[in-house]
A and B are shown apart, each in its own frame.
Chain A
Amino acid sequence: MSSQALAARPRDDGKERTALYIVLAAEAVFFGTLILSYLYLRVGQFDWPFNHPTLSQLIIPALNTAILLLSGVSAWGSERAILEAREGRLRLGLLVTLLLGLVFVAGQVFEFNRAGMRPSDQAFGGVFFALMGFHALHVLAGIVILAINLVRAFAGDFSPARHMAVSLGSWFWYFVVAVWLVLFAALFLI
């Protein structure tokens, strides 16, 4: 981010940014308590089914993770593009992020079904359903934000001085990506 772009920011953008940080803090506690609930149940149970995941069990979740990481990069690119007044790249960045997000959600649904799990399969079925499901809902919420921003980008609503919605959308998206990295490690790697 160039110093010129920083100087171009409207003075009161701190309000929105602070608000977003608070929302994300609350969301982090939400996912934190979900993960701790899962670990609490897992520690209390001797025969957790995924104690030693095989490579074939990991391949699609890993691919999904890569797709989501990639979308994080394009979200970052879209914020950078508008700060540099490159509206074409902004639209491209938003569109790519949105599409990768949709692919990720589809991949999650596919993986849950492929593994043959049901929410009612002991406690672990519910754990995977709830943790992946609540995260997917957040991805969908991020996609709604991206879609609104995309429409506004095509309407020429953004400029280096007027980019708050794009920035906040990107920040929410980074958060969703980061939460998934933790969930991926917690659900599939340990």
Chain B
Amino acid sequence: MTAQAQAQAHPYGTASEKAGILDWVMTVDHKKIGIMYMVTAFAFFLIGGTFALLMRLQLAQPNGRVLSNATYNEIFTMHGTTMIFLVVMPLAAGLGNYLVPLMIGARDMAFPKLNALGYWVFLFAGIFLYSSFAFGGAPDTGWFSYAPLTEKPFSVGHAMDFWALAILLLGLATTTGSLNFIVTILQLRAPGMTFGRLPVFVWTILVTSFLAVFALPSLTTAGGLLLLDRQVGTHFFNVAQGGSALLWQHLFWFFGHPEVYILILPAMGMISEIIPVFSRQPIFGYKAIVLSAIAIGILGFTVWAHHMFATGMPNATLAVFSADSFLIGVPTGIKIFSWLGTMWGGKLRFKTPMLFAVGFVALFLVGGLDGVHLAVIPVDWQVTDSYYVVAHIHYVLFGGAIFGLFGALYYWFPKITGRMMGEGLGKWNFWLMFIGMNLVFMPMHVLGLLGMPRRIYTYGDGLGWGIWNLIETIGAFVVALGILLFMVNFVVSLRKPATYEADPWDAFTLEWKASSPPAAYNFAEIPTVKSLRPLWDEKHPDLADWRVRE
């Protein structure tokens, strides 16, 4: 097929592929903004991943000499800050931007200009944070920046000012984005798209947006007070002058724990779209999965002090936060059963998106169970600030969030580009990441129990840590190879001739009704929705959900 014939094959032409740079800079279209979010976040993912490889090289053997102690501190701080604020959040925001209007049958987000503003603030905040490398060094106090280490006497130079300002800017970007999602989902749904028919991904974006609106202000307060301490000379976190270092921890974790759900809930939503399509069944327990997402969102605000069990809080406080942390395992478990129930008895098709979705369920389960261990206070005291905690967070955020996001990229790539990703490379990509990630993070449990503290830049010989660290480093490069294959697959697939197939997975939800890629206005005619699976209904009028179930 020639290029011209291709352009004709696609009902709306290939305008988006010929778009010049100005079309991207000036755009307020939710799909282009979504793509820009994803591309930017992926670039930061490569940087943050490179930092991880550098750390693994340094720790591969005892007394490593790859990085100096000062550089190591900068690298692990920037790795965490990057992955959380510049990778997982914007990747989810990008997919949400692209998909939410399509999934609810709308033509765009509620406030397109505000949408563009949010992206540009995010981009410049990221560049601003990274410019600290050129102005006397990057932040080096860890991604949660505990006071008093961040106060002026202990963090001279401007690194912490860069960090705090970047955090305030990113908070602004996320708040505008969340506000836009909430208003869009509340007010722009197509006729018949009731809350009981909202795709699970849209629900999780809605819950996540509310979490962001209520959690981020606490981080803004923390960052604002830190800047006042450093620049104006106040003493909020200075114990000697009547301030409190623990105040920082409370403010940070009141944001920081809901943040974990801000990172994981969208990924849960993504696999809740993928698993039904590749099991050929509707999602099992739709109401349960939606209500459990809401329950996780609410409970997420009541557990922040479980990050502070080792700070000497009163026993009663410990007990309350421990109990709440156990409680949050219940709605999480409900979700796991919903996914398994969806697969049970279905016609399973293990295409790459499905592999990543099932990988998510397995790995997230490990991370979740680690979380339950850490809610047991004596266990937490034993392994706090050790590699056990690092294992937990990575099973949740890499095995969970990143696997969900990769599955989503494979699943929605045909919608965004009009082309399929290669299956062969996709499977290699998955298995390398799956095996590699277990090689990196499973031994961290052992190291944590052996007493290896997190964030140390090196360790001595004869502690029995060397072999585990070496396995982890090998695993890290296996993961890196998997991600390299993803990029190869991405580029190769983009160069293949487009098929513009609207619905290549035989899917259920409205975004697959639009052409691939969708026209600027998404739908020529706004669809009317009668059930949770409007596209299934359209393709199978006799078996339509609204006939069979309602």
Contacts and interface: CB of A to CB of B under 8 A. Distances in A.
Interface stretch (B210-218, B401-409, B521-529): B210-218
Given A40-B247, A44-B244, A15 B110 contact: yes
Interface in A18-55: 18-19, 22-23, 25-27, 29-30, 32-34, 37, 40-41, 44-45
A119 interface: yes
Given A22-B213, A41-B242, A123 B179 contact: no
B214 A26 contact: yes
Nearest to B175: A26
A119 B228 contact: yes
Interface string A121-150: 011111101100010000000000000000
A120 B225 contact: no
Interface residues of B, number: 34
B276 to A, nearest CB: 31
B244 A23 contact: no
Interface string B184-197: 00110000000000
Given A44-B244, A126-B228, A33 B110 contact: no
B88 to A, nearest CB: 21
B312 interface: no
Contacts of A88: none
A14 interface: yes
Contacts of A126: 225, 228-229, 232, 234-236, 243
A123 B250 contact: no
Contacts of A130: 224-225, 228, 234, 236
B254 interface: yes
Interface in B292-350: none
A129 B217 contact: no
A122 B229 CA distance: 11
A33 B254 contact: yes
A18 B217 contact: no
A133 B9 CA distance: 61
B241 interface: yes
Contacts of A19: 110-111, 179, 183
A14 B182 CA distance: 12
A40 B221 CA distance: 14
Contact of B213 (A25, A44, A129): A25
B233 interface: yes
Contacts of A125: 234-235
A40 B225 CA distance: 14
B251 interface: yes
B141 interface: no
B116 to A, nearest CB: 16
A126 B232 CA distance: 9
A129 B179 contact: no
Given A19-B183, A40-B247, A129-B234, A122 B221 contact: no
Given A119-B228, A120-B233, A134-B224, A23 B179 contact: yes
A contacts with B: majority SS? helix
B234 A120 contact: yes
A33 B171 CA distance: 15
Contacts of B235: 120, 122-123, 125-126
Nearest to B111: A19
Nearest to A27: B217
A47 B179 CA distance: 42
B244 A40 contact: yes
A63 to B, nearest CB: 26
Contacts of A127: 236
Contact of A37 (B110, B214, B238, B247): B247
Nearest to B209: A22
A126 B236 CA distance: 7
A41 B247 contact: yes
A106 B187 CA distance: 41
A128 B320 CA distance: 32
B220 A30 contact: yes
Interface in A87-138: 119-120, 122-127, 129-130, 134
A124 B236 CA distance: 9
Contacts of B225: 37, 126, 130
Interface in B107-163: 110-111
Given A22-B182, A129-B232, A130-B234, A40 B250 contact: yes
Contacts of A18: 182-183, 186-187
Nearest to A18: B183
A45 B242 contact: yes
Contacts of B233: 119-120
Interface in B26-83: none
Contacts of A44: 242, 244
A129 B228 contact: yes
Contacts of B247: 37, 40-41
A26 B221 contact: no
Contact of A124 (B111, B175, B186, B242): B242
Given A15-B111, A29-B214, 16 more contacts: A14-B187, A22-B178, A22-B179, A22-B183, A22-B213, A29-B217, A33-B217, A41-B244, A119-B232, A120-B232, A123-B234, A123-B235, A126-B225, A127-B236, A129-B232, A130-B224
26 contacts: A15-B110, A18-B183, A19-B110, A19-B179, A22-B179, A22-B182, A22-B183, A23-B179, A26-B175, A26-B214, A26-B216, A26-B217, A29-B213, A29-B214, A30-B221, A33-B217, A33-B218, A33-B221, A41-B236, A41-B244, A41-B247, A120-B233, A124-B242, A126-B243, A129-B228, A130-B225
Interface of A: 14-15, 18-19, 22-23, 25-27, 29-30, 32-34, 37, 40-41, 44-45, 119-120, 122-127, 129-130, 134
